[in-house]
Amino acid sequence: MAALDLPLFGNIVLCAILVSAAYTFSVALVAGRGRLHLLPAVRSGVYGTVALIGLAVCTLAYAFQSHDFRIRYVLRYSDRSMEWFYLIASLWGGQDGSILWWCFLVGAYSAICAYSLRNRLPELQPYILATLMVIVMFFGVLMLWSANPFSTVVAGAPVEGEGLNPLLQNYWMMIHPPMLYLGMTGWSVPFAFCVAALITGRLDDEWIKASRRFTLWAFIALAVGNILGMLWSYEELGWGGYWAWDPVENAAFMPLLAAIPFVHSVMLQERRGMFKVWNVFLLCLTFFMTIFGTFLTRSGMIASVHSFARSSIGNYFVVFMVLLVVGCAALIIWRLPLLRAEHRIDSLLSRDFAFLLNNWILMGMLLFVLIATTWPLISEALRGTTVTVGPGFYNKWMVPLGLILMALTGIGPLLAWRKSNKTYLVRAMMVPGAASLLVMVLHVTLGGTLGYPAIVEGDDIYDTMTGKVLASIYGAAPLLSTAGCTFVLVGHLQEFWRGTRARMRNAREGFLVAFFELIARSKRRYGGYMVHLGLIAMYFGFTGSAYDKDAEQALKPGESLTVRGYEVRYDGSRMVLDPGKRMVFSDMTVLKDGESLARISPAKFIYEKPQGTATTEVAIRSTLGADVYAIMNSVNPETKVGTFRVIVRPFVAWIWLGGLLMIFGTAVSMAPSVSEVLGDVRERARFPRLAGATSVATIVGILALALLLTVLLPVLAHAQSNSSSSLHAGTVTMHSAEEKQLFARLLCECGDCQRLPLSSCICSWAEDARARIREDMAAGKTSLQVQQEYREEHGDQAIAIPSDKGMDRALWAVPIAVIAGAALLLVRWGRRWSRGADAPGPLATAPPGAGAAADARYDAALERELERLDDKG
Amino acid sequence: MSMLLPTFFVAAAGLCLLLVLLALWHSLRNVLAGADDGRRVPRASLSGAQRALVHEKDELLAAIRELRFEHELGKVNDADLQRFEQRYRTRAREVLRMLDEQLEPHREQARTLIDQALASAGITPAASAQADAVPAVPDGPAKNDAPDPRAPCPSCSASNEPDAVFCKKCGTRLRAGDA
């Protein structure tokens, strides 16, 4: 390969990808027009296209490993000193390579889809594979004309490369982007199934069933990708948080907000044949959001610390998105007669209606995040004013929406499909209700003493009634959240218990077998419950952020600072040299009540290249109760005096635990049934149930024990000698919580930094601004007054929360109005649909002449089928 | 590792190239071979409409099963169980009837073919099928109307095959002395 002109070879391969995808697409279309004997040719075309993309990836990977700096992408994102794993990570470290990687994943999914289909769904197969090839072609066009990973440098190959951004040189680069891309690209397959169903008119549930596992996989990969991003931000970026509502973060979150309603409401279609149009729309929306999210991050249209530089790639995305919208709309309108179904809800107290409410609130959250994320663009387009929408805005508004979602998560599983027995429902809510009430009482009475008050101080983000209402909800959120988490937890455990008890009674099985059989026979239901429990664990973790405490102090060796009962003692500092950097570690001991709990070592890394670049390495001691998070600001090499910031964050570990539980729950939902594995029903009957239950229980028990040990034993995350972190320029001393909240909203206008908030920018302009603001507050001005004056002096773009006046009010008013209006419509429609519930439907009575004998015969056949269904599980 | 990786990627690229050539050759051969190259694509045994009916039947059965389960849990009262199950059953009967109507011509054809095969083997054709034969379910073996001598389990009352030795639900031995 050394003698080969690698860039030329790479470009030839890119061209070949486009040609191969186009060829496969064409053959697929011909096959779909009734020449199904061409299906093997289509599948082979898919495999060939994927192999070509693999070839391109291997070529680029070789170029990195052999330091071929003729290629601009290799020059830009690597150097000779990088370790091999960072050279691999560089494949997706920049725009061009990440497009190739995206194309590769779509190709891989296409190949898996083609293989899994083989001789199934011959009518749908051509259009499924054709749709996937269209997506591959789009990325092929992008690579050839806008983001070519094999383009060469003009002036000849330099001796050394520029190196990967130190921010990206950590092990998370190997994990987070691939996982997130797996989730984003995974939605291509269910989307392709949907398009094929629309084109062929086969709009029964066949395509939904066939794509179910792909859907669940894409869902959990996307969720895990988001969680890994949170974990990366928390462990490596050194600002103490895990989610900043950055546009790029939102770009990955929005497809999830569209996917969750789809995963739920598709069950309505399967059971009741309803909402076919809505489900098709949801799936198209989910796929569109993955493309839109990619567009946001790559076009550079919205400023973000994560995003790529502004480029022409955005134009290609716009064209593709327009084609997507027009194409999907045309297909849906064309097939509307086939999609339309009579909507009938038997009762508002039903799981059916609860699923509709679930869709309502999640769509509302999606609308909210979408408008807020694109508000800077909207504002600039409509009135020429740049505004910033920072995390303070989202944190306030998403709390009430999240609480509504939590309430629905708690009530939904208690309801029955079609119509719930009111007596049962009241009884079912008693235990969870009592438990949550007890927790509320305990929280109110004991919370303050334990350091977790039920009501916290919520600052106003607006000087209007809206601001006060939001502040009140935010203040009560810890109480409502812990009560809600308790309700959901107890309610779900009750569902498991009642189901197991029913089996023990009716099937006369022991507890273990009954529990195993319960889950095995209703994997979707109980796997879904496990996912809910994971979500609630995450909610509990989020609640802990209301109790964060931090302190910043200069310490001499031997001195300590105390935060929330944790004493952190500074023992000394040391320097370690590396070929590429100097690493200054500070050794600290975490103590509680005089007892040593752990040793942690926050650090600063000073890089040779780019010269003088310094990054911050945090150190974390993590337990289920709280994380002790230490940041080293600076250390004087002569006096050894160090400045440290220590944050104690309660319950953060529950977020990661919740993520693991969500993975487990989804895996249960996706698991094949025993009959799918063993085949014949008779074999299924001989499967020793007790042995099976015991085996599964043993495996799950071991995993749970390992997990428990992992979370109960303190986990130490500290400076990696070969990684880097730190997004922000540094940390700033805050004198009070109010000051911290205010400075987080005011942005630095020095013109040099990336408009960081005053709470983290350490430039002299920011220092002066902070001093002036402190004087104003000491003179008696409120935070809102200071904020207003800052806005008047520097403009709307200097505040991370748009005002509650004029057009800026639309930022929250439009989504809230839509949410409220949709709620009213839903209740109205629900009542209308349920009014016709008692009337016999069009096929509720048998046609004349059927005969009682025939009915009896069919009933007997149905009973046998039901029995066989029970045997299959 | 850093010395091995370039070689690894060269080898992987070679493998990809080989796969490309094989796949595209196979694809082109299939396209150029014409309508029939001796390997016909297996056609679905059911038409689209029949498949849709089968799916609907499966969904109705799943719905009945879920309804009964929720009734066991107490979420659905007796009156609603009866009402909703009746609705599902009525529709399910209609679906089975439609399936029967669509499959009947094929059944006749199958009977004729069987008779011809038996006649050519010198075997007297069996008596014609009972007038009120139970409709065959497309994904299951045909059942007839004769009383099915299934063995209920003495322990859990589950219905078992007549020749079952152990109960398929609880494992209780049904027949003493069998292997």
Query: Tell me, what's the pLDDT at A821?
Result: 93
Q: Which residues of B touch A55 (CB under 8 A)?
A: 13, 16-17, 20
Q: Which residues of B touch A853 (CB under 8 A)?
A: 132
Given a cut of 60, whether residue B4 has pLDDT beyond it is: yes
Using a CB cutoff of 8 Å and minimum separation of 24, what contacts does A553-558 make?
A553/A643, A553/A644, A554/A641, A554/A642, A554/A643, A554/A644, A555/A641, A555/A642, A555/A643, A555/A644, A556/A639, A556/A640, A556/A641, A557/A640
Distance of CA A659 to the CA centre of its chain: 10
Query: Tell me, what's the pLDDT at A718?
Result: 45
pLDDT tens for residues A201-232? 988 888 998 899 999 999 999 999 999 889 88
pLDDT tens for residues A597-611? 999 999 988 877 666
**B44-54 average pLDDT score:** 71
Q: Which of B30, B143, B155 sits opposite A41 (nearest CB)?
A: B30
Contact B23, A44 (CB under 8 A): yes
CA quadruple A787, A789, A795, A797: dihedral, nearest 10 = -10
pLDDT tens for residues A844-873? 444 555 577 778 888 888 888 887 776 655
* Tokens 């008692």 -> residue: A838
Distance of alpha carbon A586 from alpha carbon A583, whole angstroms: 10
pLDDT category of residue A792 using cuts at 50, 70 and 90: confident
Residues whose CB falls within 8 Å of the CB of residue A528, separated by 6 or more in sequence, listed in order: A665, A669
The mean pLDDT of chain A is: 85
Given a cut of 80, whether residue A120 has pLDDT beyond it is: yes
Given a cut of 50, whether residue A719 has pLDDT beyond it is: no
Query: Tell me, what's the pLDDT at A754?
Result: 64
Contact A414, A491 (CB under 8 A): yes
Given a cut of 50, whether residue B38 has pLDDT beyond it is: no
**A477-496 average pLDDT score:** 95
Q: How many helices (H) and strands (E) does chain A have?
A: 29, 11
Tell if the CB–CB gap between B70 and A209 is shorter than 8 Å: no
pLDDT category of residue B141 using cuts at 50, 70 and 90: very low
The two tokens of residue B176 are 């003493």
**B15-31 average pLDDT score:** 92
pLDDT category of residue A306 using cuts at 50, 70 and 90: low
Q: Which residue of B has its CA nearest to A65?
A: B6
Q: Which residues of B touch A119 (CB under 8 A)?
A: 41-42
Q: Which of A24, A119, A861 sits opposite B143 (nearest CB)?
A: A861
- Selected for mutation to probe chain B from A204, A209, A352, A498 (highest B CB count within 10 Å) is A204
Query: Tell me, what's the pLDDT at A841?
Result: 47
Tell if the CB–CB gap between A508 and B155 is shorter than 8 Å: yes
Q: Which of A108-117, A483-492, A846-855, B132-141 has the weakest average pLDDT?
A: B132-141
Distance from CA of B109 to the nearest CA of A (A): 22
pLDDT tens for residues A387-446? 888 888 999 999 999 999 999 999 999 998 888 888 888 999 999 999 999 999 999 999
- Three-state secondary-structure class, residue B107: helix
Query: Tell me, what's the pLDDT at B178?
Result: 45
**B87-110 average pLDDT score:** 85
Query: Tell me, what's the pLDDT at A846?
Result: 47
Q: Which of A37-46, A554-563, A830-839, B113-122 has the weakest average pLDDT?
A: A830-839
Q: Which of A314-328, A364-378, A430-444, B25-39 has the weakest average pLDDT?
A: B25-39
pLDDT category of residue B128 using cuts at 50, 70 and 90: very low
Given a cut of 90, whether residue A170 has pLDDT beyond it is: no
ipTM, 2 decimals? 0.76
Q: Which of A47, A54, A84 sits opposite B5 (nearest CB)?
A: A84
pLDDT tens for residues A681-697? 544 454 556 666 666 66
pLDDT tens for residues A821-834? 999 998 888 888 77
DSSP secondary structure of A490-548: HHHHHHHHHHHHHHHHHT---HHHHHHHHHHHTHHHHHHHHHHHHHHHHHHHHHGGGG-
The two tokens of residue A198 are 């629309």
Contact B134, A860 (CB under 8 A): yes
Helix (H) / strand (E) containing A551: strand A549-555
Tell if the CB–CB gap between B16 and A47 is shorter than 8 Å: no
Type of residue numbered A94: G
Distance of alpha carbon A171 from alpha carbon A72, whole angstroms: 24
Instruction: Tell me which of A711 and A281 has the higher pLDDT.
Output: A281
CA A796 to each of CA A730, A760, B49: distance values in angstroms, whole numbers, following the listed order: 25, 20, 61
pLDDT category of residue A724 using cuts at 50, 70 and 90: very low
Distance of alpha carbon B176 from alpha carbon A435, whole angstroms: 52
Query: Tell me, what's the pLDDT at A838?
Result: 53
Give backbone dihedrals phi and psi of A113, rounded to 5 degrees, phi first.
-65, -45
Distance of alpha carbon A398 from alpha carbon A366, whole angstroms: 11
Distance of alpha carbon A444 from alpha carbon A453, whole angstroms: 7
Helix (H) / strand (E) containing A383: helix A351-383
